[in-house]
Amino acid sequence: MTKRTIYLFVAVLLAGVYTHAFAATLTDVRGTAFQTAFDYLSNKGVVEGYLDGTGRPYAPINRAEALKLITLSDKEISRRVSWYSKNMPPLPIFADVSQQSWYAPFVEAGFETGILKGYPDGTFRGANFVTVEEALTMLLRSRGESGDTGPALLSPYIANQSNEWFTPYINGAIEKNMVMRQQTLRLGAPITRGQFFDMVYRYMNIEDTGKSSFPKEEPRTTVVRNEGNTNNGNTNVTRNIPQQSQPTVPRSLSPHASEKYFAVSMPSIGINDLSIVHPVDPFTSKGILEPLSRGVGHLFSYPGGGGKIMVYGHSSGYPWDISQYTKIFRKVNQLKVGDRLYVTYEGKLHTYEVTHEQTIDAKDTSPFNDNGAGEELILYTCWPPDSIAQRYLVHATPVDTVALR
């Protein structure tokens, strides 16, 4: 796909697929352990759902997004963000942050209030996923807290180590009951939106009640099902499945599983362990193109969350572009009905089966309208190869999901 055609795709997509999305219920949050946190933060004006009407509680959150959430959860820091949005300094604090980026005011306010310190090379790395320890550290710093500097407190719900830079902050989180008791958070692992939203909710509740720790009971989860029909007639698509209810298998016994956070394999056409990258800025042509230098891109829903999942890639490119991903989707038309696609996402292996393929006009976005008929993975590329006249789509529906260990 070229810059011109992707820009056109984004413009049409925003006008078509995203219409009235804010009015929709966050169906992928309802019934999960994170519903209370989402509802609380939404009522406080701290968070909103995505434009496709989802909350994506099991998706990772990057540093820029986490910073935004933290700053908006504190009234004083939020006021500083508003001030900076109208009074941006001419020079950035970090080398990789443009003063014109959407999150620049949050960076300015975050640095001013001590939330951010940056990396030794002078960068912020806003697109990087936030790890468990980074998330807690940023949140506690935003309230001027330095945590408990004693030995590492131990908890069955979050890992901890003594004499580390993060030890005081994890100690503080344990003391304040900021970690949900339905999981074990690992150090160095990306934190999900739902996990982080729940921590912010708990801290705000502590502030609201004046208590020393979060006093509420632990949330219960339910399984939300959508009884609509998919394109191939499947029904009973589970949108939210508690993690503990899924089978767990070693990665070594799953030949199509990846060590990456988000990747796809299509063994029938020789594509294996291909990185899937969600764009940091999905609303501009430059932002949409950026992931294609590292693999293939992603838009809309996520595996296991229901709805439409787009994975897009090049089928042609400029003569001077010799990237290994320039023509990565050139052979997707060789996929046949019944072929299996394997997507590793968030520690789970999702298996999809090809149901049909289609060629559409470049401006046609109707295949991505989410009619509530269940989850569908759609591969998307320009077509025919070396042309921008049409788009080629491969549709697949989920047949199996296993947790990896």
For the chain, the structural domain boundaries read 3-17+224-404, 23-209
Better pLDDT: 330 or 12: 330
Phi first, then psi, for residue 338 (nearest 5°) are: 100, -15
Token code pair at residue 44 = 């406080």
pTM strictly above 0.85: no
**Of 43, 99, 108, 98, whose CA–CA distance to 77 is shortest?**
108
CA atoms lying within 13 Å on the CB side of residue 1? 30
Q: Which residue has the higher pLDDT, 228 or 203?
A: 203
pLDDT at 316 over 50: yes
Query: Is the confidence at residue 167, as pLDDT, over 80?
Result: yes
CATH architecture of 3-17+224-404: Beta Barrel (2.40)
The pLDDT tens digits for 108-162 are: 999 999 988 888 888 888 888 888 999 999 999 999 888 888 889 988 889 888 8
Question: In this structure, what token pair is assigned to residue 32?
Answer: 């999960």
In contact, 171 and 160? CB cutoff 8 Å: yes
Residues 404 and 125: their CA atoms lie apart, in Å, by 28
What is the reported pLDDT for 85? 92
Distances from the Cα of 328 to the Cαs of 271, 273, 370, 391, in angstroms?
Answer: 8, 12, 27, 15
Residues 284, 368, 42: CA angle, nearest 5 degrees: 70
What is the percentage of the chain residues whose pLDDT exceeds 70? 82
Cβ(113)–Cβ(80) below 8 Å: yes
Q: What band does 274 get if pLDDT is binned at 50, 70 and 90? A: very high
